[in-house]
Structure 1
Amino acid sequence: MERNGESCVQRAAAGDSAAFGLLVEEHTPWLLVRLTRRLGSHEVAEDVLQEAFIAAYQQLAELRAPERFGAWLCSIADNKARMWQRRRITQLNLLDQLDLAAPPEQEKQEIRALVRKAIGRLSDPHRDVIVHHYLKGYSYQQTATLLHLQTGVVKSRLQKARKRLQKEIMAMAESSTAQTFKLGPDDLAGLRHVARFTSDDPKRPIMHCVCLDAGGRVVATDGSRLLNWSSKGLASLPAPMILDSLRPEMIPDTDSATLILEEESATLQTADGRRMTFPATPGPYLKYQEAVGTPGPILAVVRSERLMACLEAVEPFLREQHDLVKSGWDYMP
């Protein structure tokens, strides 16, 4: 079978399971390395990756840009990993075992994020016992059997690993866990334009927001149209983030700024120290159909060959999105 990226994605979206199998084969190696590094366990990474592929297969018809399949799949895998980490850390209550002396203003969610990063910094022997005992929930004896160790060795390593985690976490707590992106004049002008495009519909607050999608796509809707713009400065964004109540006047009129994304907020900071902060939450954004609905018949008057060519190009998209088979599709040169 042909192994062409975009063609393979299109065939898979049309229901070709063999084509999707080729995509799985192509993207498994690098995603498995990425997830193993993040989760600290090859076994757990395989389980999370399997969940990501299932979700991707179920959502594949929603992917509007086949050439961005890799980045889109990566964002799904990262979200699945994030959900796994939050669930396991919360259930096992590792924070209580660590007995952290966090500052009063330090939120538990922020501490959990630090714990996840700190586990990744442990040595292999310490990380193995932490992952097996706390994250996978095995007893001392089960952990010892799985790692071919004595039970006393497991207990000793866990004690040392917890102390090491405390040191790592307290060191990292002093530094920011936020993601930062350098934005140029085109990025800022684009954000300003997108912010003007949002809706004020009080019944649909999600449309007051701007979505920063994985790979740098910036998406907003006014309820009848959906704007999709690409930002070079946000090209490395790994997962969607929703910016709430972003307004044009909040975007600084300057040649450059730094966008700082944290768990629940986003901040634009200029070189002279000005800061504009607004609420933010993890994505994803609403689907195209949920944003603009399904309109009635569309009338288009075309008066040039170039516009005619454009009409021919968008006709398949419109037919798919707006059920033009029923409403009819006709035009006159």
Structure 2
Amino acid sequence: MSAVVWATVVRPRGTRVDRAWAGRVEQSEVGDTVRRAAAGDKAAWDAIVESFSGLVWSIATSYRLGQADAAEVVQTTWLRLVENLDRLREPERLGGWLATTAGREALRLLRLRGREIVTDDEGRFDDAPSALPNPEETALGAERKRQMRRAFAKLPERCRRLLHLVIVVSPPYAEVAAALEMPIGSIGPTRARCLDRLRKLLDADGGSGSAVGC
């Protein structure tokens, strides 16, 4: 990779960015753009950052990190890309690489924070019920979560990644398509099939598949 150092600007969440990523880098051109950036083409690097910043930010903030920690995850993810730009085995799958790296960095930071959930939005707790759930309700809730985790773990990896992106992270479909290298039009039907499989796995485990949202 070129010795030129490129500074990635950390864009605070909520700052408006152009989500029409295909206007900067066509999906069919991602691999070539990565190779040009690795060769020292700053315009190619800028196009990558502009095209995938929304996806990286969406992944970072999906872990309920505070603003400063989410910004650190984003910055570290871009740093990892700079370090590996000329070593990516499949540069055309850059979206998936960035999504995976951002998720790993978020989990690493959570471990460093002692698994403490950090948030800048203290108001999110204002609507919490004043009365604590009784022990039976707590036990039932814990069991439902365990059943959901077991069922989710049995899904194919592609289903797990898709549901995590679409339901938990919830970026624009263009960014999901970029991360998973799939046509935008197939995201909805694939999501429905994955949810149906999850319902069946829950039913087989004695849980309630009807609890899985559509």
TM range (shorter): 0.3 to 0.5
The structure where helix makes up a greater share of residues is 2
TM-score (norm 2): 0.47
TM-score (norm 1): 0.32
**Which is higher, the Rg of structure 1 or of structure 2?**
1
Q: Which has the higher contact order (CA 8 A, sep 6+)?
A: 2
